[in-house]
Amino acid sequence: MLKNLTIALTLSLPLAAEPSIERLDAGFDELVAGDVAVEVLATGFRWVEGPVWNQAAGELLFSDIPNNVIMAWNPQSGIREILKPAGYTGIGTYGREAGSNGLTFDAKGALLLAEHGDRRIARLPERSGKLTVADRWEGKRFNSPNDLVVHSSGAIYFTDPVYGLPEGAKDPAREMDFSGVFRVAPDGVVSLISKEMDAPNGIALAPDEKTLYVGNSSGKRPVILAFPLKPDGSAGEARVFFDATGLSGKGSPDGLKVDAMGNVWSTGPGGLLIISPTGKLLGRVLTGRATANIAFGGSDGKSVFLTASDRLLRFQRR
């Protein structure tokens, strides 16, 4: 049996604790080099989330939720503000998590936003203001859409926990008595996928789009569920794909992405978890701080970007 091997990482700026790699399976070596270096690309934010690589512009977009802003990191020009307000366009303040959270692009290159304060999924065309994609299910307003993924059919799957409501589950403006996973069909019809999780968060599709993965950011049930998707876009009964109970470090399953080989890369306890298509934990990148989400990108697609508390991190995968 392979023994755990911890290797110190080289950083351009210090983190809260010395980062390391926790290698649990030989399959990890095919994805991450043992001498990989984690860089701090930018810091000074309040709580960053929702990274997505903009292939057309060659830069990374990400949300700074408490500051209600979307930022961009460009390899040549560095950091700049893209959109403010980004998730709450009302008057006055709106709790601690007003801004956008998850970001992604649709097939036409429009930016899609999961917005806490405005409690909706929105689309940002290049030359016009934000357009509401969906803000209600059966006449009831969403809690605070958290993360989203686009199917090749054009359908949008997203999670809707209560994290963005100013008073959480007890917020008087809350209209649903559950936290759900939803689907917006190409024609705009919203359907419920699941309401079995108390804190649905990160969401991603398998390469063949036959499985929908959803992370549950709950200390009571820190799991990633796998939903089989039917041809009509609805989902079958979920199974537990991975259970993070007992893992050391801060955090529960949060943002996640799936690579072309079907491996699930999920932020969670300790930093970043890399899980095989069969649900086996191959290893972790321990960042030394709460880590919220992940994106693949860069000119060759091999950069792994992490939003971790107040900073943006990067390392290279194989």
- The domain defined by 35-281+288-316 folds into Neuraminidase (2.120.10)
**pTM, two decimal places:** 0.93
pLDDT at residue 33 in the model: 87
> In the chain, what are the domain boundaries?
35-281+288-316
**Cβ atoms of 116 and 103 closer than 8 Å:** no
- pLDDT score of 17: 53
Q: Tell me: pLDDT of 2 over 60.
A: no
In 10 A of CB 285, how many CB atoms? 26
Predicted confidence band of residue 126 (pLDDT cuts 50, 70, 90): confident
Counts for the chain of helices (H) and strands (E), in that order = 0, 28
| Percentage, residues of the chain above pLDDT 70 | 94
User: Which amino acid makes up residue 129?
Assistant: G
pLDDT tens across 34-74, in order? Answer: 788 899 999 999 999 999 999 999 999 999 999 999 999 99
Long-range contacts of 29-33 (CB under 8 A, 24+ apart): 30/318, 31/259, 31/263, 31/274, 31/282, 31/317, 31/318, 32/274, 32/283, 32/285, 32/315, 32/317, 32/318, 33/316, 33/318
| pLDDT tens-digit map of 129-188 | 889 999 999 999 999 999 999 999 999 999 999 999 999 999 999 999 999 999 999 999
* Rounded distance between C-alpha atoms, residue 233 and residue 209, angstroms: 10
pLDDT reading at 5 higher than 90: no
Instruction: With a cut of 60, say whether residue 4 has pLDDT above it.
Output: no
Q: Which residues pair with 107 in a beta bridge?
A: none
